[in-house]
């Protein structure tokens, strides 16, 4: 979530939403800085920022394999060869 650097509005999902908000609500100030979010101190996020390193061999389950199909039918979605996890567990761990 992002916060507007001018009016401190919260809940803007990403840079595109912040850009649209700036154009709609703060057009003159935004144009004065050549429509650059970085000029207002907004940091450009690196791809994958906030993700943790997944276990070695982490991958989605192969539904063609009988054992992995059984795990998939039980609600699991990812494996590393030894353990299986649900999508919610992987998101909570920061791997997705």
Position 76 in a domain:
yes
Position 51 in a domain:
no
pLDDT at 46: 62
Q: Same structural domain for residues 4 and 35? A: yes
Determine the 3-state secondary structure of 24 from DSSP. Answer: helix
pLDDT at 50: 63
CB atoms within 10 A of CB 70: 12
Q: Same structural domain for residues 2 and 28? A: yes
Over residues 3-40, the pLDDT tens digits come to: 898 998 888 888 889 899 999 999 999 899 898 888 88
Do residues 30 and 7 lie in contact, with contact meaning Cβ atoms separated by under 8 Å?
A: no
Report field, pTM of the whole predicted structure over 0.75: no
Compute φ and ψ for 23, nearest 5 degrees: -65, -35
Q: Same structural domain for residues 65 and 27? A: no
Position 53 in a domain:
no
CB atoms within 10 A of CB 19: 15
Question: Distance between CA atoms of 14 and 16, rounded to whole angstroms?
Answer: 5
Q: Considering its fold, how many domains does the chain have in total?
A: 2
The beta-strand segments (E) located in 1-96 are 59-60, 78-79, 84-85
Domain containing residue 77: 59-93
pLDDT at 28: 92
């Amino acid at each position: 979530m992002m916060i507007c650097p001018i009016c401190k509005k919260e809940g803007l999902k990403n840079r595109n939403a912040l850009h649209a908000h700036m154009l709609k609500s703060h057009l003159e100030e935004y144009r004065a800085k050549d429509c650059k979010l970085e000029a207002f101190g907004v940091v450009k996020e690196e791809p994958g920022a906030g993700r943790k390193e997944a276990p070695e061999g982490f991958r989605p389950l192969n539904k063609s394999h009988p054992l992995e199909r059984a795990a998939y039918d039980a609600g699991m979605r990812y494996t590393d060869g030894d353990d299986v996890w649900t999508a919610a567990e992987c998101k909570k761990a920061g791997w997705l």
